Chain A
């Protein structure tokens, strides 16, 4: 089975800290995605990547950046964490654009104090 692994299940950070969320997939998938999930708002796409070193902004990229140096790893970076970035962050991957199914990690619940 495909595995998408997020490095932390829970994180607590201080306002202004630089935060790294890591995601690794083990099935050579082309596409990787970062979403945030908030009550009542569903899933909102932050960034996605369709190849190594390639990235595209999603719906809410402000305050975030990403890095994809290797195919299996997609990192989400909060340059200066703020309290409004407290959320559940979900990473996902898919084989390629023609493959419709997404595989999700278990999520990282980030609290910024």
Chain B
């Protein structure tokens, strides 16, 4: 079945540092790919998505490129802020008649001033 593997956290950075959170997936075909973000005390919300190979999703300064050759969708941001501290989830949509999306385990990001 489908699966998503994310790098373990926490990732701890200083403000203005470069961020990469790795995500690789196993799936049939070429599904859309998602990043969700969960700020402290809140539920998850969609951060960005890409629907086909070589697409780049972007939002709030974050970017991720759909790489079918490496089955990866790594999340990047050039200069993080304290307000980016959150948990980030990589996800696949439902497939093969299922109703259920597949989430990675989440990666906690802590940004210090």
Interface SS, A side: strand
Q: Which residues of B contact A (CB under 8 A)?
A: 32, 34, 36, 41-46, 49, 89, 93-94, 99-101, 103-106
State the total of A-B contacts with C-beta under 8 angstroms: 49
CB <8 Å contact, B94 and A106: no
> Closest residue to A56 on the B side, CB-wise?
B99
Collect the chain B residues with CB atoms within 8 Å of residue A92's CB. Answer: 43-44
The contact of A43 among B45, B93, B106, by CB within 8 Å, is B106
With A42-B104, A43-B89, A97-B94: A104-B99 Cβ-Cβ less than 8 Å: no
Q: Does A113 contact B (CB under 8 A)?
A: no
Interface SS, B side: loop
Q: Does A18 contact B (CB under 8 A)?
A: no
CB <8 Å contact, A104 and B100: no
Q: Which of A90-104 contact B (CB under 8 A)?
A: 90, 92, 97, 100-104
Q: Which residues of A contact B (CB under 8 A)?
A: 4, 31, 33, 40-43, 45, 48, 50, 56, 58, 90, 92, 97, 100-107
Collect the chain B residues with CB atoms within 8 Å of residue A43's CB. Answer: 89, 103, 106
CB <8 Å contact, B94 and A45: no
The contact of B105 among A31, A42, A97, A101, by CB within 8 Å, is A42
CB <8 Å contact, B99 and A90: no
> Closest residue to B33 on the A side, CB-wise?
A100
Interface pairs (12), CB distance under 8 Å: A41-B105, A42-B89, A42-B104, A90-B44, A97-B94, A100-B93, A101-B46, A102-B101, A104-B44, A105-B43, A106-B41, A106-B42
CB <8 Å contact, B101 and A104: no
List 18 other contacts, CB 8 Å, given A97-B99, A100-B49: A40-B105, A42-B103, A42-B106, A43-B103, A43-B106, A48-B99, A56-B99, A58-B100, A97-B94, A100-B93, A100-B94, A100-B101, A102-B101, A103-B45, A104-B43, A104-B45, A106-B43, A107-B43
